[in-house]
Amino acid sequence: MDFAVSDERRLLGDSLTRLLSEKCAFETRTAMAYAAPWHSPHLWDALAELGLFHAFLSDDHGGVGGSGFDIMTIFEPLGHALCPEPLLGQLMGLQLLAAAGADCDAALNGTTRLALAVDEAGSAWELDRISTRAEQQGMSWTLTGRKSMIYGGPAATDIFVAAGIEDQIGLFHIDSAAGARHDIGLIDGGGASEMLLDATPARLLLHNAADAIENALDWGRLALAAEALGAMTAAFDLLIDLLKTRQQFGRPIGQFQALQHRVVDLKVEMEQVRSITIAAAAAMGTREQSRTVAQMKALIGQTAHLIAQETIQMQGGIAMTWEYPASHYAKRLTMIDHQLGDSAFHLARLTASGGPG
Amino acid sequence: MDLGFSPDEAAFQAEVRTFIAENLPAELSDKVRRGATLAKEDYDTWHSILAARGWLAGGWPRAFGGQSWSTVKAHIFEEETALAFAPRIVPFGVKMLGPVLIKFGNAAQHQHYLPRILDGSDWWCQGYSEPGAGSDLASLKTRAERDGADYVVNGQKTWTTLGQFANRIFCLVRTSTQGKPQEGISFLLIDLDTPGIDMRPIQLIEGGHEVNEVFFSDVRVPVESLVGVENQGWTIAKYLLGHERTNLAMTGLSGAALNRLKGLAHEMRRGGRPLAEDPHFSRELAVVEAELVALRISNLRMLAGGGAPMAEAAMLKIKGTTIRQKISALSRQALGAAAAAIPPENFSDNLRLVPDGSEHEAAAYFNTRKVSIYGGSNEIQRNILAKGLFG
């Protein structure tokens, strides 16, 4: 039993934290996070140079990492800095390229940016409810349907689309400019796309892709949980600082037991979700993967909401303002639950017969 | 990162499982599984089975009859025995007084008392709390005044768990009123046969007799019964708080209770289907199951760090007790109206109200309210954590 972070990972995490403090400081971040294309080529290139994307895959696929703990190491600092760069899509896209046996080099080097189009209004990450259809004409394919909430879509060079082929789900590649891509900003920063596909030409990557897509979504969920851990830690530290300094009734408000016990409850829950994220990171690639990831995402969602609501309430009016970072952490923590299936979605998966329970 | 046990630890886990399979009497585990009240003989039986293997006090140093178990091995032992529904080891002698004597006692006390804990000659109980000293333990008032070769003890202790089975009690007593309250407390060993001691049962919420109150009037205790030096009692009590803290999270007990609850949820029916398929109930069950997975990792993280600093211990206690209470509440809920029934002993099988073995769920639920109160209430644990955060 060993819960220590390896030296290599510690080094990567520290370098990433340093880089983000230079290139993604709060005001830079806010500017980037709320203006198209929700992406800075300068920051992206710096992240690629650090070798971040290589840590997404194992050496079988040209990477240098590929373990759940690599993903935790990378996404926790990203969450701490509220980095809006579209790394979630890059991670899930690389998993799919690897599953398809395709060349991963361009994405590993960061010269391509990947986004995953699975969600549809009304399907909520349920692959068996996807209504976008693929049609084959000779050697070529076209896609028709609407894809929703494509995270990182505005900055993507390549988009992977899940679409039905008869009773299976296939995975297709489309050029990001193809089809009518409509970009939107998100309330917690960053960008996504809606796509209206109408006989849009596509290239088939994987014919029977349901398992590979589920697997990629699980990796994305792990990344989101780690991101939430980073954001929670930052939000919590802001809270402690404020409670120690803000004076009311002649003393720092952190001296009031009514607030102290609520703060402690946040701390206890944060340690719990760190533990379940560690459990999920260790379960990646094992038979326990989907079940543990569902448990993790369910708990992360609940705790992220708790931290968001309580840090606003206990800090008071200041946390309602745009200029104070706590408000942005609260938004990110709240909306993380909505990504790749919320708490209720994953609890339903756990309780469904034949589900990951 | 490696969440697995080392080969040595894994081998130990297998050894514990085999030992339990071969040595835990079925009638004992059946009683524990049902939540039935255990008699003194039940505890004594299990203690002597463990003592014969050298595992009753595995955490003690070898020189004193233990196995010098690491915290991880102690955890494995506790988890495996709980999952197998073994009786718990009564902690007062083995886990509380033993380590205190080993650390603070003199050679004569080692030679006299430690073997008697291991062979079951002595059953110890704990005299800490008083009616006016619960969370604020340092305000305790039971006095011990020097008179020749004796201390003369007057006062009252309460919440004395299983005192009805005990022949001895270790007490925190006031030997000085000078300075801070913590500075005038001593740790005293008292034979319960001494004249002037009156132990009375306290009936608990579910009707059971688990705890007692103990009255001391002019009880003469030889000064050799002092542990450590006079007025060192608070230091000893704090040492005990930081010792043997591997079982705070109670993951074994909660795991066993959760397994039972899942069985129950498949057996009970609601709305024409198993309760396990009821969306609301199954959701609650899934949450607590995930929380227990997380707690288990939290516990292992703490163990891998070599023990429980106060802050981690406080977190495990808060979360461990909350989860245990949630499982207990769901188990009560699962039984529906029949949860309230107290079936007479002679009820025949065709009159059975609840699944076999679930007769005590409601009683256990009420009894389990204690876990967030005892051992430093969860509010005190929050104060400890807040002190770390706010100074």
Q: What pLDDT score was predicted for residue A332? A: 98
Residues A347, B2: C-beta atoms closer than 8 Å: no
Residue A354 binned pLDDT confidence (cut-offs 50, 70, 90): low
3-state DSSP assignment of residue B155: strand
Is the per-residue pLDDT at B310 higher than 90? no
Contact A51, A112 (CB under 8 A): no
Please, which residues have CB within 8 angstroms of residue B122's CB and are 6 or more apart in sequence? Answer: B93, B113, B116, B167, B168
Question: Residue A10: what pLDDT?
Answer: 94
3-state secondary structure chain A: CECCCCHHHHHHHHHHHHHHHHHCCHHHHHHHHCCCCCCCHHHHHHHHHCCCHHHHCCHHHCCCCCCHHHHHHHHHHHHHCCCCCCHHHHHHHHHHHHHCCCCCHHHHHCCCCEEEECCCCCCCCCHHHCCCEEEEECCEEEEEEEEEEEECHHHCCEEEEEEEECCEEEEEEEECCCCEEEEEECCCCCEEEEEEEEEEEEEEEECCCHHHHHHHHHHHHHHHHHHHHHHHHHHHHHHHHHHHHCEECCEEHHHCHHHHHHHHHHHHHHHHHHHHHHHHHHHCCCCCHHHHHHHHHHHHHHHHHHHHHHHHHHHHHHHHCCCCHHHHHHHHHHHHCCCCCCHHHHHHHHHCCCCCC
| Whether A286 contacts A299, CB under 8 Å | no
Checking if the pLDDT of A179 tops 80, the result is: no
pLDDT at B375: 87
**DSSP H or E segment with residue B156:** strand B150-157
pLDDT higher than threshold 60 for residue A253: yes
B301 and A263 in contact by Cβ < 8 A? Answer: no
pLDDT of residue B298: 93
- Asked if the Cβ–Cβ distance from B298 to A272 is below 8 Å, we say yes
Phi and psi at B187, nearest 5°, equal -110, 115
B136: Cβ contacts below 8 Å, ≥ 6 apart: none
Do residues A147 and A195 make contact, with C-beta atoms less than 8 angstroms apart? yes
Q: Helix, strand or coil for residue B293? A: helix
CB-based contact A273:A259 (threshold 8 Å) = no
Interface check for A276 against chain B (CB to CB < 8 A): the answer is: yes
What's the pLDDT at B307? 63
CA distance B132 to A254: 29
Give the 3-state secondary structure of B1-35: CECCCCHHHHHHHHHHHHHHHHHCCHHHHHHHHHC
Of A1, A69, A243, the CB nearest to B5: A1
Residue A356 scores a pLDDT above 80: no
CA distance B107 to chain A (A): 37
Q: Mean of the per-residue pLDDT values for chain B? A: 94
Q: Among all residues of chain B, which has the CA nearest to that of A347?
A: B283
Q: What is the pLDDT of residue A325?
A: 97
Instruction: Count the helix, strand and coil residues of chain B and give each as a percent rounded to the nearest 5.
Output: 55, 15, 30
Interface check for A272 against chain B (CB to CB < 8 A): the answer is yes
DSSP one-letter code for B130: B
- CA distance linking residue B222 with residue B190, whole number of Å: 9
Residue A76: other Cβ atoms inside 10 A: 25
Separation between Cα atoms, residue A19 and residue A24, nearest integer Å: 8
Work out the mean pLDDT of chain A and round it to a whole number: 95
Question: Would you say A228 and A302 are in contact if contact means Cβ atoms under 8 Å apart?
Answer: no
State the complex-level ipTM: 0.90
With CA atoms as reference, the chain A residue closest to B300 would be A1
What's CA B65's distance to the chain center, in Å? 22
Residues 6+ apart with CB under 8 A from A22: none
Please give the Cα distance from A15 to A11 (Å, whole number). Answer: 6
Stretch A20-33: mean pLDDT: 97
Residue A7 sits at the chain B interface (C-beta within 8 Å)? no
pLDDT at residue number B347 = 80
Give the C-alpha separation, A326 to A149, whole Å.
25
pLDDT category of residue B328 using cuts at 50, 70 and 90: very high
Query: Cβ of A351 and B379 within 8 Å?
Result: no
Enumerate residues 218 to 257 of chain A having a beta carbon within 8 A of any beta carbon in chain B. 240, 243-244, 254-255, 257
Residue type, A4: A
Q: Chain A contact for B284, CB < 8 A?
A: no
Under 8 Å between Cβ of A40 and A85: yes
Nearest to B225 by CA among B173, B156, B158, B184: B173
Task: Look at residue B243 in the predicted model and tell me its pLDDT.
Answer: 67
Residues 91-150 of A with CB under 8 A from B: none
Contacts of A273 in chain B (CB under 8 A): 294
Contact B379 A261 (CB under 8 A): yes
pLDDT digits (tens, 9 = 90+) for A280-323: 999 999 999 999 999 999 999 999 999 999 999 999 999 999 99
Structure tokens at A126: 């349920």
Secondary structure of residue B210 in the 3-state scheme: strand
* Contacts of B175 by beta carbon, 8 Å cutoff, 6+ apart: B143, B144, B145, B146, B151, B184, B185, B186, B230, B231, B233
Q: CB A264 to CB B385 under 8 A?
A: yes
Give the pair of three-digit tokens for residue A6: 């390896």
Contact B319 A243 (CB under 8 A): no
Cα B285–chain centre separation: 25
**Closest CA of chain B from A66, distance in Å:** 14
Q: Which two tokens stand for residue B189?
A: 């060993």
SS3 B342: coil
> Tell me: the pLDDT tens digits for A115-160?
999 999 888 788 989 999 999 988 899 999 999 999 999 999 999 9
| B-chain residue closest to A356, CA distance | B286
Q: Using CA atoms, how far apart are residues B275 and B290, in angstroms rounded to an integer?
A: 19
Q: Which residue of B has its CA nearest to A261?
A: B382
Contacts of A299 in chain B (CB under 8 A): 287, 290-291, 294
pLDDT band, very low/low/confident/very high, at B379 (cuts 50, 70, 90): very high
The pLDDT of residue A357:
46
Banded model confidence at residue B252, pLDDT cuts 50, 70, 90: very high
User: Choosing among A271, A296, A302, A346, which should be mutated to test the B contact, i.e. which has the most B CBs within 10 A?
Assistant: A271
Each residue of A202-251: pLDDT tens digit? Answer: 999 999 999 999 999 999 999 999 999 999 999 999 999 999 999 999 99
Q: Three-state SS for B229?
A: coil
pLDDT in tens, B351-372: 888 998 898 999 999 999 999 9
Predicted confidence band at B120 (pLDDT cuts at 50, 70, 90)?
Answer: very high
Is the predicted pLDDT of residue B244 greater than 70, yes or no? no
- Residue-level pLDDT at B2: 87
Report d(CA B200, CA B276) in Å as an integer. 44
Tallying the residues shown for chain A, one arrives at 357
Residues B77, B82, B88, B92: what is their CA dihedral angle, to the nearest 10 degrees?
A: 50
Let me know if B244 is a catalytic residue: yes
**Residue B240, pLDDT score:** 83
* Residues above pLDDT 90, as percent of chain B: 86
The CA distance from A312 to B363, in Å, is 41
H or E segment to which residue B191 belongs: strand B185-191
For residue A125, give how far its alpha carbon lies from the nearest alpha carbon of chain B (Å): 19
Which residue, chain included where needed, has tokens 């516990």? B299
What pLDDT does residue B245 have? Answer: 65
Predicted local distance difference test score (pLDDT) of residue B43: 98
- Structure token pair of residue A297: 């995402």
Q: Residue B283 is nearest to which of A5, A240, A351, comparing CB atoms?
A: A351
CA distance B232 to B380: 22
Quote the pLDDT of residue B352: 85
Residue A60's nearest CA partner among A12, A14, A94 is: A94
Q: How far apart are CA A36 and CA B332, in angstroms?
A: 54
User: Which residues are paired to B209 by β-bridges?
Assistant: B203
- Three-class SS state of B152: strand
Distance from CA of B83 to the nearest CA of A (A): 20
The CA distance from A299 to the nearest CA of chain B, in Å, is 7
